[in-house]
Each structure stands twice: as C-alpha cells, then as structure tokens.
C-alpha cells in the first residue's frame, strides 16, 4: 500500500528562514536549473530543488536534519542561474543558520547572537568583566598576592627584570585571562559535543529514511576514520575551487582558516611555556613562536579584510545579513586589535597597547563564548556533515 504523507506547513519556520536571509524561497517554481548547476548535486537527487520545495512548505525536520544542506559551500552558482530569482544558495544558508540555532543550547544565547538588538549586551558584558579584571590587576596586587599565597601559588607571572618592559600581564593578570577563557572553552566544547551528538544522530536517521545510506546503525569508528579522510579536503579548500561564481572566496577563507590554526598552535605553546616551563612572556620577536603569531595575525587581518571587501563589492548580487557581519566583525577585530596591541608594545606606548589588548580580549570572548551559536559554528557542522557524507559514501 502506498504510504500517505500529510505535509503540515510550519509557518513559524518559514518566517524564520525568511528572516535569516531566505525571503525569496516562495519564488521557486521547481524548474530544477539549480540542481543541474550545483556541483554537489548527486545524480539521483535533485539538490537543492527538493530542499527548496521543503522550505516553501516549512518542513523543518526534513531540512534541519538533512546533512546535505551542510555540503553546500554557498558558491552561488545556483543563485546566479535561477530564472526566478529564488536564490537557493541564500535559502540554504538561512536553513543552516536555523539549524545552528536549533541544535545549540542554551537557546536564549543562540537567539541573542542572531539579534542585532542584543549586540550592546554581547559586547558590554565582557567589556565590564575585563575592565573589572584590569582594575583588580592594577590596584589589587597586594591583596591578590596574599590570597594566592594561601594556595602556595605566585600571583604575578612577570619574569625577572620585567619591570622595564611592557607586559600585558601587568594590566590583565594572566591568571584572570586563563580563568576566564579555560572554563569558557570547556563550556563551548561541552555544548558542541552535545549539539553534534544530536546533529549526527539526526542526519543519520534522515539518511536512512531517505535511502542515502545502507548502514542503519551508526558505526562511530568508521565515522571517525571518515572524519580523518575529509580533513585534507577542508585544508585544501577543494570545494571552493569547484564553483564558478565565488572562486575568489577561497583565498581569504584559507587565510583565515590557517591563521586560526597558527594562533591555536601559538596559544597552546604559550600555555605550556607559562604553566609547565614557568617561562612567562613577553617573548623575543626572534622566537619561532612570535614569527608564527605575527604571520598568523597578519593573515587574519588580510583574510577577514578581504572577506569584508568581497561582501561590500558584491552587495548587489550577494546579500549580507547581520549574522554574516557579526562574525566578520568579530574576526577582523580580533586580528586587528591583536596586531595593534603588539605594534603599540613595540613602539613603547604602554597604555595604548593595554587599551588595544582590552579590546582584543573582548573580541576573543565574542568569538569563543558565542562559537556554538554564531556563523562560525558552520565550520564544525560542515566538517561533521562532510565526514558523514564520506562515511555514508554519498556521491
Ligand atoms: S530555486 Fe530557482 S532554479 Fe531551483 S528549482 Fe526553484 S526556480 Fe528553479
Ligand atoms: S550555492 Fe553552490 S553548492 Fe550550494 S546549492 Fe547552490 S550551487 Fe550547490
């Protein structure tokens, strides 16, 4: 007997997609030009045409739980060729944003990150927090020293002879910085782990239901092997080179990706040097660590600057929404304030350097604390979906 399926349009979800940049979704008249143009459309599945019809019906579950939406790298080829101006690339991008909000917890934070009215709060809270930490570091030295002595820990991380050098630790205690960011990073890792567990379960269930995989049980060992196999694709940004309209996005994306990898290595080395080798900074400009930090910082500023320029140059063809500006602004500010902090320090402008470092800490907080909720989370979801597609042998 034929299975009956009663579609119940979710008007709330349709409104959400429209609000996130998919306002053209109802223009689609199912001609399938987009499926012919799309470099990732499988031969036996009209991607993204069927996602467009699901979106116009507001079939939330079918879209949010569909791993394919993450394989789209928003090249824009389908949007350029769509005869109706339905902009399927933008609709898929809006669905991905809705999926990030759907899987992220707590929801209130996910909604706040996507709401421009909440921006003053997202900047103001860390601004107040770091201002408080600066005041305690500068004026509470004696109290903090005796407090830390109780636990047998040295309060200051300043090295011998550091009195005549500009050290950010004199303005913001490294203890305070790490006691802010280590728990934040841990909370973010837990949120991501829980979100990804649900996400992976959902895309697997969806793939089984739609016949995209013959493996009904999810084999985690094979999934992790697939994850390792897709990492070179991500590092080479191969997918970007498959598209025609937005090929120029590949270089800035790679610069930002590699600068984050570089800065992650530098931060990890700094952590080991400070807490294990007991070697506090500032470190020599000639050290390989500083070289890597400076190159990564410059790459971050140029890469994110180019991304902003691309968006501004193409504002007629490619719409940019608040979620895009939020993450671009945070990443660019992070790179710029980091470089300005360093330059002011080398120019012996202590308080200018401290001020930029203060702004830098606010930018770092906005990037890390809101990582599971901002557009940056797409890196993690996309990697998971790519690994799942590899695991399920999606063609
Ligand atoms: S989105 Fe555009 S190209 Fe794709 S099926 Fe709809 S009308 Fe055709
Ligand atoms: S934006 Fe590019 S990858 Fe995404 S659906 Fe359109 S053609 Fe395919």
Residue owning tokens 């579609």: 7
- Output helix, strand, coil percentages for the chain, rounded to the nearest 5: 70, 0, 30
Atom of ligand 2 nearest to the CA of 37: 7
- Of all ligands present, the nearest one to the C-alpha of 74 is 2
How much is the pLDDT for 140? 86
Window from 112-116, 148-152, 221-225, 321-325 with minimum mean pLDDT: 148-152
Distances (CA, A) of 25 to 183, 238, 324: 41, 28, 19
Total-model pTM: 0.84
Q: Please report which helix (H) or strand (E) contains residue 348, including its range.
A: none
**pLDDT computed for residue 163 by the predictor:** 53
Q: Measure the CA–CA gap between 390 and 103, rounded to whole angstroms.
A: 22
Cβ neighbours of 58 (radius 10 Å):
20
Ligand 1, atom 4, residue with closest C-alpha: 34
Band the pLDDT of 243: cuts 50, 70, 90: low
Higher pLDDT, 81 or 215: 81
Structure tokens at 11: 């008007």
Q: Is 87 in the pocket of ligand 2 (CB under 6 A)?
A: no
Give 293: exposed, middle or buried? Use CB within 10 Å, 0-12, 13-18, 19+: buried
- The minimum-distance atom of ligand 1 relative to the CA of 84 is 7
Q: How confident is the model at residue 393 (pLDDT cuts 50, 70, 90)?
A: confident
Residue 258 has pLDDT above 50, yes or no: yes
pLDDT at 395: 54
Label residue 1 by pLDDT band (50, 70, 90).
very low
> For ligand 1, is residue 86 a contact (CB within 6 Å)?
yes
Half-sphere CA count of 315, side-chain side, radius 13 A? 6
CB under 8 Å to 92, separation ≥6 — which residues? 48, 51, 69, 72, 74
Please say whether the beta carbons of 76 and 247 come within 8 A. no
For residue 374, what is the DSSP state? S
pLDDT (0 to 100) of residue 86: 93
> Residue 175 belongs to what H/E stretch?
helix 174-209
Q: Which CATH architecture has domain 11-103?
A: Orthogonal Bundle (1.10)
For residue 50, which ligand has an atom nearest its CA?
Answer: 1
Residue located nearest, by CA, to atom 6 of ligand 1: 28
Mean pLDDT of 261-276: 90
Candidate from 17, 29, 81 with most ligand 1 atoms within 8 A of CB, to mutate: 29
Q: What is the mean pLDDT of residues 113-137?
A: 93
Determine the distance from the C-alpha atom of residue 176 to the mean position of all C-alpha atoms in its chain, rounded to a whole number.
25
**Is 203 near ligand 2, meaning CB less than 6 Å away?**
no
Residue 388 structure tokens? 């799942």
pLDDT tens-digit series, residues 6-33:
666 788 999 999 988 888 999 999 999 9
- Give the residue whose CA is nearest to atom 4 of ligand 2: 72
pLDDT attached to residue 14: 93
Task: Indicate the domain borders of the chain.
Answer: 11-103, 113-391
Q: 205 burial class (0-12, 13-18, 19+ CB within 10 angstroms)?
A: middle
CA nearest to 230, candidates 217, 239, 242, 221: 239
Q: Rounded CA gap, 332 and 366, in Å?
A: 12
Q: What is the mean pLDDT of residues 160-170?
A: 65
Q: Tokens 């467009």 identify what position?
A: 52
Confidence of residue 5 (pLDDT cuts 50, 70, 90): low
Distance CA 41, CA 395 (A): 8
C-alpha dist (Å) from residue 116 to 68, 329, 376: 29, 13, 17
The 3-state DSSP class for residue 159 equals coil
Task: Show the beta-strand stretches assigned E in 75-153.
Answer: none
* Nearest of 192, 313, 342 to residue 252 by alpha carbon: 313
């Amino acid at each position: 007997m034929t299975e009956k399926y009663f579609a119940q349009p979710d008007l709330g979800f349709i409104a959400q997609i429209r609000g996130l940049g998919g306002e053209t979704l109802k223009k689609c008249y199912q001609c399938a030009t987009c499926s012919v143009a799309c470099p990732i459309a499988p031969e036996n599945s009209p991607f993204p045409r069927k996602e467009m019809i699901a979106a116009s019906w507001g079939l939330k579950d079918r879209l949010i739980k569909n791993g394919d939406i993450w394989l789209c790298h928003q090249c824009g080829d389908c949007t350029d060729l769509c005869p109706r101006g339905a902009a399927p690339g933008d609709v898929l991008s809006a669905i991905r944003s809705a999926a990030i909000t759907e899987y992220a917890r707590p929801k209130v934070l996910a909604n706040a990150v996507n709401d421009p009215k909440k921006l003053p709060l997202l900047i103001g809270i860390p601004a107040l927090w770091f201002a408080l930490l600066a005041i305690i570091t500068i004026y509470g030295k004696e109290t903090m020293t005796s407090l830390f002595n109780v636990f047998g820990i040295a309060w200051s991380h300043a090295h011998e002879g550091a009195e005549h050098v500009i050290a950010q630790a004199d303005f913001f205690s490294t203890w305070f910085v790490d006691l802010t960011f280590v728990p934040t990073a841990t909370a973010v890792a837990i949120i991501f782990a829980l979100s990804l567990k649900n996400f992976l379960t959902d895309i697997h269930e969806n793939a089984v239901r739609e016949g995209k995989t013959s493996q009904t049980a999810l084999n985690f060992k094979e999934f992790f092997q697939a994850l390792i196999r897709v990492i070179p694709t991500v590092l080479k940004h191969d997918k970007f080179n498959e598209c025609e309209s937005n090929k120029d996005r590949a270089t800035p994306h790679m610069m930002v990706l590699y600068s984050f990898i570089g800065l992650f290595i530098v931060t990890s080395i700094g952590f080991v040097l400070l807490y294990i080798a007991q070697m506090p900074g500032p470190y020599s400009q000639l050290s390989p660590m500083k070289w890597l930090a400076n190159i990564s910082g410059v790459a971050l500023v140029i890469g994110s600057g180019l991304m902003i320029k691309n968006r501004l140059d193409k504002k007629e063809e490619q719409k940019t929404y608040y979620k895009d500006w939020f993450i671009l602004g945070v990443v660019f500010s992070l790179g710029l304030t980091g470089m300005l902090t360093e330059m002011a320090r080398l120019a012996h402008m202590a308080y200018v350097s401290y001020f930029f470092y203060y702004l830098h800490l606010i930018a770092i907080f906005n990037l890390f604390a809101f990582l599971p909720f901002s557009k940056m989370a797409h890196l993690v979801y996309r990697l998971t979906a790519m690994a799942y597609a590899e695991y399920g042998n999606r063609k």
